[in-house]
Amino acid sequence: MTMPEPTHRLAGKIVLVAGAGSSAPGWSIGRACAVAMARHGATIAALDFDRTAAEDTVREIEQIGGRAIALQADVGDADAMADVVNQVIAEWGRIDVFHANAGISKTGGPEDISMEDWHRIQHVNVDSLLIASKLILPHMRRQRAGSIVTVASVAGLRYIGYPHLAYSVSKAALIHFTRMLAQQYAADGIRANVVIPGLIDTPRIQKNVAHMFDAASLDNARAARDKQVPMGRMGTPWEVANAVVFLASDEASYITGAELVVDGGITGKYV
């Protein structure tokens, strides 16, 4: 699946995407989501720890005729995130959608992961959502409207065939965090939903996961991951992005607290 056809599903929406870049050349979930939402008419504030990665995403958006700005910040830095939110509000006056996609990982079980890595992963993957929520929710409450779409992982639901403890626990926490947001802020017109991707073919495979299958061959690692999925293949970033677009849009106006699994059937396989 490739880039979606343009529509007006998100026309007029101001969207802040955290983790809008890519850690390596290619289409990450965050970059695909940012471009897909722009493709559907949204104006994008593309935030990433790596400014160059954010700028690359903005270039992709501008090439399809979209509108975006690149922002740089560590999502775990409350002061830096306050500057980001203030800049978006100053630029456009509102934030209609917050897409929380930033995340890091490191494979290993309890005997392998260091406390330093454990805390770093929880901080980036979970604490960052608390930081962003404190900053963005007041604006959404004043608007009496808003959509928060987080991205977790099937690793937060199931063991996926190799030890990935810190990442998995952080994604489980993210899922429940999103449920809590949905319940507390529903009466304020704010929706919160989580997309739960399965095995997706992104640059992250090469950096973090391939060695768990075949350190010598990325192609073999991809083939092994394909075989894990009942549909016989990994998903594409665009298939995740389409789910994010739906939950961000007014088409999902009566959906909050939902967990949309995009996994080719893999979670059912591991029940």
Q: What residues are labeled active site?
A: 167
- The answer to whether 201 and 235 are in contact (CB under 8 A) is yes
Residue type, 87: Q
Cα distances (Å, whole numbers) of residue 172 to 194, 196, 269:
11, 10, 19
Return the residue matching tokens 């406390």: 115
| Closest residue by Cα to residue 141 from 176, 175, 181 | 181
| Closest residue by Cα to residue 117 from 208, 215, 196 | 208
Q: In angstroms, how far is CA 85 from the centroid of its own chain?
A: 18
| Closest residue by Cα to residue 198 from 245, 165, 246, 231 | 231
In 3-state terms, what secondary structure has residue 236?
Answer: coil
- What value, to the nearest 5°, has the Cα angle with vertex 69 and ends 67 and 75? 135
- Cα dihedral value 234, 114, 25, 126, nearest 10: 70
Dihedral-angle region of residue 180 (phi above 0 means left; psi in -120 to 50 means alpha; beta otherwise): alpha
How many C-beta atoms lie closer than 10 Å to residue 93's C-beta? 10
